[in-house]
Structure 1
Amino acid sequence: MTALGAVLAREMLRFWQQRARLFSALVRPLVWFLVFAAGFRAALGLSIIPPYQTYITYQTYIVPGLCGMILLFNGMQSSLSLVHDRETGSMRLLLTAPLPRWWLLFAKLAAGTGVSVIQVYAFLAIAACFGVAMPWQGYLMVLPALMLAGLMLGALGLALSATVTQLENFAGVMNFVIFPCFFLSSALYPLWRMAESSDLLRDICAANPFTHAVEMIRFALYGQVNGTAAGWVCLAFAVFSAAALRGYDPARGMIRRRG
Protein backbone atom coordinates (compact mmCIF):
# COMPACT_ATOMS: atom_id res chain seq x y z
CA MET A 1 0.00 0.00 0.00
CA THR A 2 2.96 2.31 0.57
CA ALA A 3 4.07 1.74 -3.03
CA LEU A 4 0.53 2.33 -4.30
CA GLY A 5 0.28 5.56 -2.32
CA ALA A 6 3.68 6.75 -3.56
CA VAL A 7 2.87 6.11 -7.23
CA LEU A 8 -0.57 7.69 -6.85
CA ALA A 9 0.92 10.76 -5.13
CA ARG A 10 3.50 11.08 -7.92
CA GLU A 11 0.83 10.99 -10.63
CA MET A 12 -1.41 13.46 -8.81
CA LEU A 13 1.55 15.81 -8.27
CA ARG A 14 2.44 15.57 -11.94
CA PHE A 15 -1.20 16.26 -12.85
CA TRP A 16 -1.32 19.26 -10.52
CA GLN A 17 1.90 20.69 -11.92
CA GLN A 18 0.63 20.20 -15.47
CA ARG A 19 -2.84 21.67 -15.04
CA ALA A 20 -2.99 22.32 -18.76
CA ARG A 21 -3.52 18.54 -19.08
CA LEU A 22 -7.01 18.94 -17.64
CA PHE A 23 -7.97 21.59 -20.18
CA SER A 24 -6.35 19.75 -23.09
CA ALA A 25 -8.13 16.54 -22.10
CA LEU A 26 -11.47 18.37 -22.05
CA VAL A 27 -11.05 20.21 -25.35
CA ARG A 28 -11.49 17.09 -27.50
CA PRO A 29 -14.77 15.81 -25.97
CA LEU A 30 -16.16 19.34 -25.65
CA VAL A 31 -15.63 19.94 -29.37
CA TRP A 32 -17.66 16.80 -30.10
CA PHE A 33 -20.28 17.73 -27.51
CA LEU A 34 -20.72 21.42 -28.32
CA VAL A 35 -20.12 21.39 -32.07
CA PHE A 36 -20.63 17.98 -33.63
CA ALA A 37 -23.41 16.68 -31.38
CA ALA A 38 -25.18 20.04 -31.26
CA GLY A 39 -25.16 20.25 -35.05
CA PHE A 40 -26.80 16.82 -35.37
CA ARG A 41 -29.10 17.28 -32.38
CA ALA A 42 -32.30 17.49 -34.40
CA ALA A 43 -31.28 15.15 -37.20
CA LEU A 44 -30.09 12.24 -35.07
CA GLY A 45 -32.61 11.94 -32.30
CA LEU A 46 -32.72 8.37 -31.02
CA SER A 47 -35.64 6.11 -30.17
CA ILE A 48 -36.28 4.57 -26.77
CA ILE A 49 -33.49 2.10 -26.07
CA PRO A 50 -32.20 0.89 -22.70
CA PRO A 51 -31.26 2.48 -20.36
CA TYR A 52 -33.29 5.47 -21.61
CA GLN A 53 -36.97 5.70 -20.70
CA THR A 54 -37.92 8.26 -23.32
CA TYR A 55 -36.74 9.74 -26.58
CA ILE A 56 -33.37 11.42 -26.26
CA THR A 57 -31.34 13.88 -28.29
CA TYR A 58 -28.07 12.91 -29.88
CA GLN A 59 -26.30 15.24 -27.47
CA THR A 60 -27.56 13.14 -24.55
CA TYR A 61 -26.63 9.86 -26.21
CA ILE A 62 -23.05 10.88 -26.94
CA VAL A 63 -22.08 11.85 -23.36
CA PRO A 64 -21.14 8.32 -22.15
CA GLY A 65 -19.10 7.79 -25.30
CA LEU A 66 -17.21 11.02 -24.67
CA CYS A 67 -16.53 9.89 -21.11
CA GLY A 68 -15.02 6.76 -22.63
CA MET A 69 -13.01 8.94 -25.00
CA ILE A 70 -11.41 10.72 -22.04
CA LEU A 71 -10.52 7.39 -20.43
CA LEU A 72 -9.14 6.03 -23.70
CA PHE A 73 -6.93 9.02 -24.51
CA ASN A 74 -5.72 9.39 -20.95
CA GLY A 75 -4.95 5.67 -20.70
CA MET A 76 -2.77 5.96 -23.78
CA GLN A 77 -1.17 9.15 -22.50
CA SER A 78 -0.31 7.46 -19.21
CA SER A 79 1.34 4.67 -21.18
CA LEU A 80 3.21 7.30 -23.18
CA SER A 81 4.64 8.57 -19.90
CA LEU A 82 5.76 5.00 -19.16
CA VAL A 83 7.82 4.98 -22.35
CA HIS A 84 9.34 8.32 -21.30
CA ASP A 85 10.04 7.01 -17.79
CA ARG A 86 11.70 3.95 -19.26
CA GLU A 87 13.94 6.12 -21.43
CA THR A 88 14.94 8.31 -18.49
CA GLY A 89 15.48 5.36 -16.14
CA SER A 90 12.80 6.08 -13.52
CA MET A 91 10.66 3.17 -14.73
CA ARG A 92 13.63 0.84 -14.29
CA LEU A 93 14.01 2.00 -10.69
CA LEU A 94 10.31 1.41 -10.06
CA LEU A 95 10.38 -2.13 -11.46
CA THR A 96 13.47 -3.05 -9.42
CA ALA A 97 11.69 -2.27 -6.15
CA PRO A 98 11.40 -5.31 -3.82
CA LEU A 99 7.71 -5.78 -4.60
CA PRO A 100 5.82 -8.02 -7.05
CA ARG A 101 6.04 -6.65 -10.57
CA TRP A 102 2.29 -7.10 -11.11
CA TRP A 103 1.57 -4.90 -8.09
CA LEU A 104 3.89 -2.15 -9.30
CA LEU A 105 2.25 -2.14 -12.71
CA PHE A 106 -1.21 -2.16 -11.11
CA ALA A 107 -0.20 0.84 -8.97
CA LYS A 108 0.76 2.68 -12.14
CA LEU A 109 -2.56 1.72 -13.75
CA ALA A 110 -4.58 2.80 -10.71
CA ALA A 111 -2.81 6.15 -10.53
CA GLY A 112 -3.46 6.89 -14.21
CA THR A 113 -7.08 5.82 -13.86
CA GLY A 114 -7.55 8.14 -10.88
CA VAL A 115 -6.42 11.09 -12.98
CA SER A 116 -8.78 10.02 -15.78
CA VAL A 117 -11.77 9.84 -13.44
CA ILE A 118 -11.16 13.42 -12.27
CA GLN A 119 -11.22 14.57 -15.88
CA VAL A 120 -14.44 12.64 -16.60
CA TYR A 121 -16.27 14.22 -13.67
CA ALA A 122 -15.10 17.65 -14.83
CA PHE A 123 -16.61 16.90 -18.26
CA LEU A 124 -19.87 15.67 -16.72
CA ALA A 125 -20.12 18.91 -14.73
CA ILE A 126 -19.70 20.95 -17.92
CA ALA A 127 -22.28 18.80 -19.72
CA ALA A 128 -24.74 19.39 -16.86
CA CYS A 129 -24.24 23.13 -17.27
CA PHE A 130 -25.35 22.77 -20.89
CA GLY A 131 -28.50 20.90 -19.94
CA VAL A 132 -27.39 17.25 -20.18
CA ALA A 133 -27.68 16.11 -16.57
CA MET A 134 -27.94 12.57 -15.25
CA PRO A 135 -29.92 11.24 -12.26
CA TRP A 136 -28.07 12.08 -9.06
CA GLN A 137 -27.51 8.40 -8.22
CA GLY A 138 -25.91 7.94 -11.62
CA TYR A 139 -23.00 10.19 -10.66
CA LEU A 140 -22.26 7.82 -7.76
CA MET A 141 -22.85 4.53 -9.58
CA VAL A 142 -20.67 5.53 -12.51
CA LEU A 143 -17.55 5.74 -10.33
CA PRO A 144 -16.81 1.98 -10.22
CA ALA A 145 -17.70 1.73 -13.92
CA LEU A 146 -15.21 4.49 -14.72
CA MET A 147 -12.54 2.83 -12.60
CA LEU A 148 -13.02 -0.56 -14.27
CA ALA A 149 -13.12 0.90 -17.77
CA GLY A 150 -10.08 3.07 -17.03
CA LEU A 151 -8.10 0.09 -15.74
CA MET A 152 -8.98 -1.92 -18.85
CA LEU A 153 -7.96 0.84 -21.26
CA GLY A 154 -4.86 1.62 -19.21
CA ALA A 155 -3.86 -2.06 -19.34
CA LEU A 156 -4.22 -1.93 -23.13
CA GLY A 157 -1.87 1.04 -23.26
CA LEU A 158 0.51 -0.66 -20.85
CA ALA A 159 0.67 -3.75 -23.05
CA LEU A 160 1.40 -1.56 -26.09
CA SER A 161 4.09 0.43 -24.27
CA ALA A 162 6.03 -2.79 -23.60
CA THR A 163 6.45 -3.29 -27.35
CA VAL A 164 7.70 0.22 -28.18
CA THR A 165 11.33 1.23 -27.76
CA GLN A 166 11.16 4.95 -28.56
CA LEU A 167 8.81 7.70 -27.50
CA GLU A 168 8.27 8.90 -31.08
CA ASN A 169 7.11 5.45 -32.24
CA PHE A 170 4.50 5.15 -29.51
CA ALA A 171 2.67 8.27 -30.70
CA GLY A 172 2.10 6.58 -34.06
CA VAL A 173 0.96 3.35 -32.43
CA MET A 174 -1.55 5.33 -30.36
CA ASN A 175 -3.26 6.62 -33.49
CA PHE A 176 -3.64 3.11 -34.88
CA VAL A 177 -5.33 2.02 -31.63
CA ILE A 178 -7.31 5.03 -30.43
CA PHE A 179 -9.23 5.91 -33.57
CA PRO A 180 -10.40 2.39 -34.51
CA CYS A 181 -11.37 1.75 -30.88
CA PHE A 182 -13.41 4.94 -30.71
CA PHE A 183 -15.08 5.04 -34.11
CA LEU A 184 -15.78 1.29 -34.29
CA SER A 185 -17.87 1.35 -31.13
CA SER A 186 -21.23 2.48 -29.81
CA ALA A 187 -19.76 5.77 -28.58
CA LEU A 188 -21.19 7.78 -31.49
CA TYR A 189 -24.05 5.60 -32.77
CA PRO A 190 -26.03 2.69 -31.33
CA LEU A 191 -25.31 -0.76 -32.70
CA TRP A 192 -28.71 -1.04 -34.40
CA ARG A 193 -27.83 1.96 -36.55
CA MET A 194 -24.55 0.25 -37.44
CA ALA A 195 -26.53 -2.84 -38.47
CA GLU A 196 -28.60 -0.73 -40.88
CA SER A 197 -25.39 0.01 -42.74
CA SER A 198 -23.59 -3.33 -42.47
CA ASP A 199 -23.99 -6.45 -40.36
CA LEU A 200 -20.23 -6.97 -40.47
CA LEU A 201 -19.62 -3.45 -39.17
CA ARG A 202 -22.10 -4.08 -36.37
CA ASP A 203 -20.33 -7.33 -35.43
CA ILE A 204 -16.94 -5.60 -35.37
CA CYS A 205 -18.34 -2.89 -33.10
CA ALA A 206 -19.93 -5.49 -30.83
CA ALA A 207 -16.59 -7.29 -30.47
CA ASN A 208 -14.76 -4.08 -29.56
CA PRO A 209 -13.98 -3.98 -25.79
CA PHE A 210 -14.38 -0.19 -25.88
CA THR A 211 -18.03 -0.67 -26.88
CA HIS A 212 -18.69 -2.65 -23.71
CA ALA A 213 -16.85 -0.04 -21.62
CA VAL A 214 -19.07 2.70 -23.07
CA GLU A 215 -22.26 0.70 -22.50
CA MET A 216 -21.24 -0.07 -18.93
CA ILE A 217 -20.73 3.65 -18.31
CA ARG A 218 -24.00 4.50 -20.09
CA PHE A 219 -26.10 2.21 -17.89
CA ALA A 220 -24.28 3.27 -14.72
CA LEU A 221 -25.01 6.94 -15.41
CA TYR A 222 -28.71 6.08 -15.26
CA GLY A 223 -28.45 4.01 -12.08
CA GLN A 224 -28.44 0.61 -13.79
CA VAL A 225 -25.92 -2.22 -14.00
CA ASN A 226 -25.07 -3.80 -17.34
CA GLY A 227 -23.68 -7.12 -16.16
CA THR A 228 -22.85 -8.38 -19.65
CA ALA A 229 -20.80 -5.31 -20.53
CA ALA A 230 -19.03 -5.38 -17.14
CA GLY A 231 -18.15 -9.04 -17.67
CA TRP A 232 -16.59 -8.37 -21.07
CA VAL A 233 -14.65 -5.41 -19.67
CA CYS A 234 -13.28 -7.59 -16.85
CA LEU A 235 -12.26 -10.25 -19.38
CA ALA A 236 -10.52 -7.69 -21.58
CA PHE A 237 -8.76 -6.24 -18.52
CA ALA A 238 -7.46 -9.70 -17.60
CA VAL A 239 -6.19 -10.33 -21.14
CA PHE A 240 -4.51 -6.93 -21.51
CA SER A 241 -3.00 -7.17 -18.02
CA ALA A 242 -1.54 -10.60 -18.80
CA ALA A 243 -0.03 -9.21 -22.02
CA ALA A 244 1.44 -6.24 -20.12
CA LEU A 245 2.94 -8.49 -17.42
CA ARG A 246 4.52 -10.68 -20.07
CA GLY A 247 5.83 -7.66 -21.94
CA TYR A 248 7.45 -6.20 -18.84
CA ASP A 249 8.86 -9.55 -17.70
CA PRO A 250 12.64 -9.33 -18.32
CA ALA A 251 12.82 -13.13 -18.65
CA ARG A 252 10.14 -13.57 -21.34
CA GLY A 253 8.80 -10.27 -22.63
CA MET A 254 9.75 -7.68 -25.23
CA ILE A 255 12.24 -6.07 -22.84
CA ARG A 256 14.45 -9.16 -23.01
CA ARG A 257 14.23 -9.39 -26.81
CA ARG A 258 15.19 -5.74 -27.18
CA GLY A 259 18.16 -6.33 -24.90
Structure 2
Amino acid sequence: MTAYLVALRAIVAREMLRFVHQRGRFVSALVRPLVWLLVFAAGFRAALGLSIIPPYQTYITYETYIVPGLCGMIMLFNGMQSSLSLVYDREMGSMRLLLTSPLPRWWLLVCRLIGATAISVAQVYAFLAIAALFGIRVPPVGYVAVLPALVVAGLMLSALGLALSSLIRQLENFAGVMNFVIFPMFFLSSALYPLWKMAESSRLLHDISVINPFTHAVELIRFALHASWNGAALLWVLLSLVAFMALALWGYDPGRGMMWRKG
Protein backbone atom coordinates (compact mmCIF):
# COMPACT_ATOMS: atom_id res chain seq x y z
CA MET A 1 0.00 0.00 0.00
CA THR A 2 2.90 2.35 0.72
CA ALA A 3 4.22 1.86 -2.80
CA TYR A 4 0.79 2.67 -4.25
CA LEU A 5 0.55 5.89 -2.24
CA VAL A 6 4.10 6.91 -3.13
CA ALA A 7 3.32 6.46 -6.81
CA LEU A 8 0.09 8.44 -6.44
CA ARG A 9 1.84 11.31 -4.69
CA ALA A 10 4.71 11.37 -7.17
CA ILE A 11 2.54 11.32 -10.30
CA VAL A 12 0.05 13.89 -8.99
CA ALA A 13 2.88 16.15 -7.79
CA ARG A 14 4.54 15.87 -11.20
CA GLU A 15 1.31 16.89 -12.93
CA MET A 16 0.80 19.84 -10.58
CA LEU A 17 4.39 21.05 -10.99
CA ARG A 18 4.10 20.80 -14.75
CA PHE A 19 0.92 22.83 -14.63
CA VAL A 20 2.43 25.49 -12.34
CA HIS A 21 5.36 25.93 -14.71
CA GLN A 22 3.02 26.28 -17.70
CA ARG A 23 1.43 29.61 -16.81
CA GLY A 24 0.18 30.07 -20.36
CA ARG A 25 -1.92 26.93 -19.98
CA PHE A 26 -3.60 28.34 -16.87
CA VAL A 27 -4.29 31.69 -18.52
CA SER A 28 -5.66 30.13 -21.70
CA ALA A 29 -7.88 27.83 -19.64
CA LEU A 30 -9.51 30.91 -18.08
CA VAL A 31 -9.52 33.21 -21.10
CA ARG A 32 -11.55 30.78 -23.22
CA PRO A 33 -14.60 30.57 -20.91
CA LEU A 34 -14.34 34.23 -19.93
CA VAL A 35 -14.64 35.22 -23.60
CA TRP A 36 -17.85 33.20 -23.83
CA LEU A 37 -19.11 34.62 -20.56
CA LEU A 38 -18.39 38.29 -21.20
CA VAL A 39 -18.52 38.61 -25.00
CA PHE A 40 -20.69 35.93 -26.61
CA ALA A 41 -23.23 35.96 -23.79
CA ALA A 42 -23.93 39.63 -24.48
CA GLY A 43 -25.22 38.76 -27.95
CA PHE A 44 -26.91 35.49 -27.05
CA ARG A 45 -28.79 37.13 -24.19
CA ALA A 46 -31.08 38.97 -26.58
CA ALA A 47 -31.44 36.14 -29.08
CA LEU A 48 -32.08 33.25 -26.71
CA GLY A 49 -35.04 33.13 -24.37
CA LEU A 50 -34.93 31.05 -21.22
CA SER A 51 -37.79 29.58 -19.25
CA ILE A 52 -37.85 28.49 -15.62
CA ILE A 53 -36.27 25.04 -15.61
CA PRO A 54 -34.80 22.97 -12.76
CA PRO A 55 -32.77 23.64 -10.71
CA TYR A 56 -33.70 27.32 -11.10
CA GLN A 57 -36.71 28.61 -9.22
CA THR A 58 -37.08 31.83 -11.19
CA TYR A 59 -35.94 33.47 -14.39
CA ILE A 60 -32.18 33.82 -14.67
CA THR A 61 -29.78 35.72 -16.89
CA TYR A 62 -28.10 33.92 -19.75
CA GLU A 63 -24.72 34.44 -18.08
CA THR A 64 -25.94 32.51 -15.05
CA TYR A 65 -27.19 29.70 -17.25
CA ILE A 66 -23.93 29.12 -19.13
CA VAL A 67 -21.62 29.16 -16.08
CA PRO A 68 -21.99 25.37 -15.50
CA GLY A 69 -21.39 24.74 -19.19
CA LEU A 70 -18.24 26.85 -19.11
CA CYS A 71 -17.06 24.93 -16.05
CA GLY A 72 -17.55 21.78 -18.12
CA MET A 73 -15.65 23.41 -20.99
CA ILE A 74 -12.66 24.00 -18.73
CA MET A 75 -12.65 20.37 -17.62
CA LEU A 76 -13.15 19.06 -21.15
CA PHE A 77 -10.25 21.06 -22.60
CA ASN A 78 -8.01 20.23 -19.65
CA GLY A 79 -8.78 16.53 -20.02
CA MET A 80 -7.78 16.69 -23.66
CA GLN A 81 -4.62 18.69 -22.91
CA SER A 82 -3.60 16.21 -20.22
CA SER A 83 -4.00 13.36 -22.65
CA LEU A 84 -1.99 15.32 -25.23
CA SER A 85 0.88 15.55 -22.76
CA LEU A 86 0.48 11.81 -22.18
CA VAL A 87 0.98 11.14 -25.89
CA TYR A 88 4.07 13.38 -25.77
CA ASP A 89 5.43 11.53 -22.73
CA ARG A 90 4.85 8.24 -24.48
CA GLU A 91 6.79 9.34 -27.56
CA MET A 92 9.64 10.74 -25.49
CA GLY A 93 9.86 7.52 -23.52
CA SER A 94 9.01 8.68 -19.98
CA MET A 95 5.51 7.18 -20.02
CA ARG A 96 6.77 3.93 -21.50
CA LEU A 97 9.32 3.74 -18.68
CA LEU A 98 6.64 4.47 -16.10
CA LEU A 99 4.41 1.71 -17.41
CA THR A 100 7.21 -0.82 -16.94
CA SER A 101 7.26 -0.28 -13.17
CA PRO A 102 6.21 -3.19 -10.93
CA LEU A 103 2.99 -1.42 -9.97
CA PRO A 104 -0.18 -2.42 -11.82
CA ARG A 105 -0.75 -0.55 -15.04
CA TRP A 106 -4.30 0.37 -14.04
CA TRP A 107 -3.08 2.09 -10.88
CA LEU A 108 -0.55 4.20 -12.79
CA LEU A 109 -3.28 5.32 -15.18
CA VAL A 110 -5.62 6.09 -12.28
CA CYS A 111 -2.90 8.21 -10.69
CA ARG A 112 -2.53 10.13 -13.93
CA LEU A 113 -6.30 10.52 -14.02
CA ILE A 114 -6.44 11.89 -10.49
CA GLY A 115 -3.69 14.40 -11.25
CA ALA A 116 -5.50 15.72 -14.33
CA THR A 117 -8.77 15.97 -12.39
CA ALA A 118 -7.15 17.90 -9.54
CA ILE A 119 -5.88 20.48 -12.03
CA SER A 120 -9.31 20.73 -13.66
CA VAL A 121 -11.04 21.35 -10.33
CA ALA A 122 -8.55 24.07 -9.42
CA GLN A 123 -9.13 25.79 -12.75
CA VAL A 124 -12.91 25.68 -12.33
CA TYR A 125 -12.78 27.28 -8.89
CA ALA A 126 -10.51 30.01 -10.26
CA PHE A 127 -13.06 30.63 -13.01
CA LEU A 128 -15.95 30.74 -10.52
CA ALA A 129 -14.04 33.27 -8.44
CA ILE A 130 -13.51 35.52 -11.47
CA ALA A 131 -17.15 35.12 -12.51
CA ALA A 132 -18.22 36.20 -9.02
CA LEU A 133 -16.20 39.41 -9.46
CA PHE A 134 -18.40 40.18 -12.47
CA GLY A 135 -21.55 39.66 -10.41
CA ILE A 136 -22.34 36.10 -11.52
CA ARG A 137 -22.71 34.28 -8.23
CA VAL A 138 -24.26 31.06 -7.03
CA PRO A 139 -25.61 30.26 -3.55
CA PRO A 140 -22.71 30.05 -1.07
CA VAL A 141 -23.45 26.40 -0.30
CA GLY A 142 -23.16 25.69 -4.02
CA TYR A 143 -19.42 26.33 -4.00
CA VAL A 144 -19.04 23.42 -1.57
CA ALA A 145 -21.74 21.16 -2.99
CA VAL A 146 -20.27 21.37 -6.49
CA LEU A 147 -16.93 19.85 -5.46
CA PRO A 148 -18.04 16.17 -5.68
CA ALA A 149 -19.75 16.90 -9.01
CA LEU A 150 -16.58 18.50 -10.35
CA VAL A 151 -14.49 15.53 -9.25
CA VAL A 152 -16.80 12.98 -10.89
CA ALA A 153 -17.18 15.03 -14.08
CA GLY A 154 -13.43 15.70 -14.20
CA LEU A 155 -12.63 12.01 -13.82
CA MET A 156 -15.03 11.14 -16.63
CA LEU A 157 -13.67 13.75 -19.05
CA SER A 158 -10.05 12.94 -18.18
CA ALA A 159 -10.80 9.24 -18.69
CA LEU A 160 -12.12 10.14 -22.14
CA GLY A 161 -8.84 11.86 -22.95
CA LEU A 162 -6.92 8.91 -21.54
CA ALA A 163 -8.87 6.52 -23.75
CA LEU A 164 -8.17 8.65 -26.82
CA SER A 165 -4.47 8.82 -26.01
CA SER A 166 -4.34 5.01 -25.89
CA LEU A 167 -5.68 4.79 -29.44
CA ILE A 168 -3.38 7.39 -31.03
CA ARG A 169 0.21 6.52 -31.82
CA GLN A 170 1.52 9.82 -33.17
CA LEU A 171 1.44 13.24 -31.57
CA GLU A 172 0.62 14.93 -34.89
CA ASN A 173 -2.68 13.07 -35.17
CA PHE A 174 -3.95 14.02 -31.74
CA ALA A 175 -4.84 17.65 -32.50
CA GLY A 176 -7.29 16.60 -35.21
CA VAL A 177 -8.87 13.99 -32.97
CA MET A 178 -9.20 16.55 -30.17
CA ASN A 179 -11.16 18.91 -32.41
CA PHE A 180 -13.28 16.05 -33.69
CA VAL A 181 -14.22 15.15 -30.10
CA ILE A 182 -14.25 18.47 -28.23
CA PHE A 183 -16.44 20.64 -30.42
CA PRO A 184 -19.23 18.13 -31.12
CA MET A 185 -19.36 17.23 -27.43
CA PHE A 186 -19.49 20.87 -26.39
CA PHE A 187 -21.97 22.24 -28.90
CA LEU A 188 -24.24 19.18 -28.85
CA SER A 189 -24.94 19.59 -25.16
CA SER A 190 -26.83 21.80 -22.74
CA ALA A 191 -23.74 23.93 -22.07
CA LEU A 192 -24.85 26.92 -24.14
CA TYR A 193 -28.60 26.43 -24.52
CA PRO A 194 -31.25 24.25 -22.87
CA LEU A 195 -32.23 21.03 -24.61
CA TRP A 196 -35.85 22.10 -25.00
CA LYS A 197 -34.63 24.99 -27.14
CA MET A 198 -32.62 22.60 -29.32
CA ALA A 199 -35.64 20.34 -29.73
CA GLU A 200 -37.55 23.23 -31.32
CA SER A 201 -35.08 23.34 -34.22
CA SER A 202 -33.99 19.70 -34.59
CA ARG A 203 -35.27 16.62 -32.82
CA LEU A 204 -32.30 14.61 -34.03
CA LEU A 205 -29.79 17.03 -32.52
CA HIS A 206 -31.80 17.01 -29.31
CA ASP A 207 -31.66 13.20 -29.12
CA ILE A 208 -27.90 13.21 -29.78
CA SER A 209 -27.43 15.78 -27.02
CA VAL A 210 -29.44 13.67 -24.58
CA ILE A 211 -27.03 10.73 -24.91
CA ASN A 212 -23.95 12.97 -24.90
CA PRO A 213 -22.03 12.29 -21.64
CA PHE A 214 -20.88 15.91 -21.56
CA THR A 215 -24.51 17.05 -21.33
CA HIS A 216 -24.97 15.05 -18.15
CA ALA A 217 -21.67 16.29 -16.74
CA VAL A 218 -22.86 19.88 -17.27
CA GLU A 219 -26.25 19.16 -15.71
CA LEU A 220 -24.60 17.46 -12.74
CA ILE A 221 -22.51 20.60 -12.17
CA ARG A 222 -25.52 22.87 -12.75
CA PHE A 223 -27.65 21.15 -10.12
CA ALA A 224 -24.77 20.90 -7.65
CA LEU A 225 -24.06 24.64 -7.92
CA HIS A 226 -27.58 25.18 -6.59
CA ALA A 227 -27.29 22.41 -3.99
CA SER A 228 -29.75 20.20 -5.87
CA TRP A 229 -29.61 16.49 -6.65
CA ASN A 230 -29.61 15.04 -10.15
CA GLY A 231 -29.38 11.28 -9.83
CA ALA A 232 -29.90 10.55 -13.52
CA ALA A 233 -26.99 12.79 -14.55
CA LEU A 234 -24.75 11.26 -11.87
CA LEU A 235 -25.57 7.74 -13.03
CA TRP A 236 -24.87 8.58 -16.68
CA VAL A 237 -21.56 10.24 -15.82
CA LEU A 238 -20.47 7.27 -13.69
CA LEU A 239 -21.36 4.81 -16.45
CA SER A 240 -19.42 6.91 -18.95
CA LEU A 241 -16.45 7.03 -16.57
CA VAL A 242 -16.42 3.24 -16.29
CA ALA A 243 -16.71 2.82 -20.07
CA PHE A 244 -13.95 5.32 -20.90
CA MET A 245 -11.64 3.91 -18.23
CA ALA A 246 -12.21 0.37 -19.47
CA LEU A 247 -11.34 1.51 -23.00
CA ALA A 248 -8.19 3.21 -21.72
CA LEU A 249 -7.09 0.11 -19.81
CA TRP A 250 -7.70 -2.00 -22.88
CA GLY A 251 -5.78 0.45 -25.04
CA TYR A 252 -2.77 0.45 -22.71
CA ASP A 253 -2.72 -3.32 -22.39
CA PRO A 254 0.41 -4.44 -24.30
CA GLY A 255 -1.27 -7.73 -25.14
CA ARG A 256 -4.37 -6.28 -26.82
CA GLY A 257 -4.22 -2.51 -26.98
CA MET A 258 -3.72 -0.53 -30.15
CA MET A 259 -1.05 1.59 -28.52
CA TRP A 260 1.52 -1.19 -28.70
CA ARG A 261 0.62 -2.74 -32.03
CA LYS A 262 3.10 -2.55 -34.83
CA GLY A 263 2.59 -2.30 -38.53
TM-score bucket (shorter structure): over 0.9
**Secondary structure of residue in 2 paired with 1:141:** helix
Q: Distance in 2 between matches of 1:18 and 1:160?
A: 23
Deviation, structure 1 residue 40 = 2.3
**Secondary structure of residue in 1 paired with 2:167:** coil
The answer to whether structure 1 residue 164 and structure 2 residue 168 are counterparts is yes
For residue 26 of structure 1, the aligned residue among 30, 49, 54 is: 30
Assess, with a 3 A threshold, how the Cα gap between structure 1 residues 49 and 101 changes in structure 2: closer, same or farther: same
- What does residue 212 of structure 1 align with? 216
The answer to whether structure 1 residue 154 and structure 2 residue 158 are counterparts is yes
Q: Distance in 1 between matches of 2:119 and 2:236?
A: 23
CA deviations 1:192-220 (Å, max 9, x no partner) are 00111111111100010000000000000
Deviation, structure 1 residue 258 = 2.9
Give the letter for the 2:42 counterpart: A
Q: Distance in 1 between matches of 2:197 and 2:259?
A: 43
For residue 6 of structure 1, the aligned residue among 1, 7, 10 is: 10
CA deviations 1:148-194 (Å, max 9, x no partner) are 11110111111111111111110110000000000000001111001
The answer to whether structure 1 residue 86 and structure 2 residue 90 are counterparts is yes
Deviation, structure 1 residue 42 = 3.7
**Secondary structure of residue in 1 paired with 2:261:** helix
Q: Distance in 2 between matches of 1:93 and 1:99?
A: 12
For residue 75 of structure 1, the aligned residue among 72, 79, 91 is: 79
User: Contact 1:246 / 1:252 at 8 angstroms: preserved in 2?
Assistant: yes
For residue 198 of structure 1, the aligned residue among 187, 198, 202 is: 202
CA deviations 1:26-71 (Å, max 9, x no partner) are 1110110000012222442411100001101111100000000000
For residue 51 of structure 1, the aligned residue among 46, 49, 55 is: 55
TM-score w.r.t. the length of structure 2 is: 0.96
The answer to whether structure 1 residue 97 and structure 2 residue 92 are counterparts is no
Q: Distance in 1 between matches of 2:94 and 2:38?
A: 40
Q: Distance in 1 between matches of 2:44 and 2:181?
A: 26
Q: Which runs of 4+ in 1 moved over 3 A?
A: none
User: Contact 1:45 / 1:57 at 8 angstroms: preserved in 2?
Assistant: no
Farther-moved stretch of structure 1 (38-47 vs 191-200): 38-47
User: Contact 1:45 / 1:55 at 8 angstroms: preserved in 2?
Assistant: no
Cα root mean square deviation, aligned: 1.0
**Secondary structure of residue in 2 paired with 1:258:** coil
Structure 1 alignment gaps of length 5 or more: none
Give the letter for the 1:131 counterpart: G
CA deviations 1:65-106 (Å, max 9, x no partner) are 000000000000000000000011110111111111111101
Q: Distance in 2 between matches of 1:185 and 1:153?
A: 14
The answer to whether structure 1 residue 177 and structure 2 residue 181 are counterparts is yes
User: Contact 1:45 / 1:56 at 8 angstroms: preserved in 2?
Assistant: no
The answer to whether structure 1 residue 142 and structure 2 residue 170 are counterparts is no
User: Contact 2:75 / 2:154 at 8 angstroms: preserved in 1?
Assistant: yes
Identity %: 74
**Secondary structure of residue in 2 paired with 1:97:** coil
Paired residues, number:
259
